[in-house]
Amino acid sequence: MTGETPLPSRYHQLREFLDRQNWRAADRETKRLMLQIMAKETLGHWTSADYREFPCEDIQILDQLWVSSSRGRFGFSVQQQIYQSLAGPNVINTAICEAFGERLGWRVNGNWLYYNELRFSLQAPPGNLPWFGVSKPPANSLNLLEKIFVETADFLDVLTGGTSYKDKGECLMGGSLYFGAFSAFTLKRCNL
């Protein structure tokens, strides 16, 4: 934080991880904090209302901690700048989804990465962290994807403009689709 106001205690563990450049632990702590703030179990259970109601103060604190600890390399505002350079104000489609994943290092050589394949270092591409993906399910867990699509249908169709479920699933698992919703409903409202 800038010293103007004390950092709320719930962010002390995150700041400690970030100060030690323990990027993996900081990423997990960021997701834990976001879920705790919204009283959710997974990002996959968020609705457009959740994105619209995420407190700006919290997202700004999270972003400021990431940006300052990474010397401007990581954070939601860094991701937002990259996303807007590709997508404009509200657009997401398969090409943008994939390009965003490629730019952030979440997608390499046409394939979305598993969490353990991400680069947790300052040598990772700008915007690489915090990660917005979900762990890739086994091939036989199509029901999980269908459940996620039903729970998030109120904003997926708006964001994707009718992109096929297969394309939505690939972008969803890679994190780009979640970030598209986060960008459209949270970051712009919070002026990031």
Question: What does the pLDDT look like over 126-164, one tens digit per residue?
Answer: 999 998 764 444 343 334 334 433 344 433 443 444 443
List the beta bridge partners of residue 107. 112
139 lies in a domain? yes
93 lies in a domain? yes
2 lies in a domain? no
Range of the domain at 47: 9-190
114 lies in a domain? yes
Burial of 136 (0-12, 13-18, 19+ CB in 10 A): middle
3 lies in a domain? no
182 lies in a domain? yes
Long-range contacts made by residues 51-54, C-beta under 8 angstroms, separation at least 24? 51/155, 51/181, 51/182, 51/184, 51/185, 51/186, 52/185, 52/186, 52/189, 54/186, 54/190
- State both tokens at 153: 């249908």
* Angle in degrees, 0-180, between the axes of helices 23-38 and 56-69, rounded to the nearest 10: 180
Q: What integer pLDDT is reported at residue 20 of this predicted model?
A: 98
- The answer to whether the pTM exceeds 0.85 is no
What single DSSP character describes residue 112?
Answer: E
Looking at the structure of the chain, the number of domains it has is: 1
Q: What integer pLDDT is reported at residue 124 of this predicted model?
A: 96
33 lies in a domain? yes
Task: Kindly report, residue by residue over 174-186, the tens digit of the pLDDT.
Answer: 455 556 556 656 6
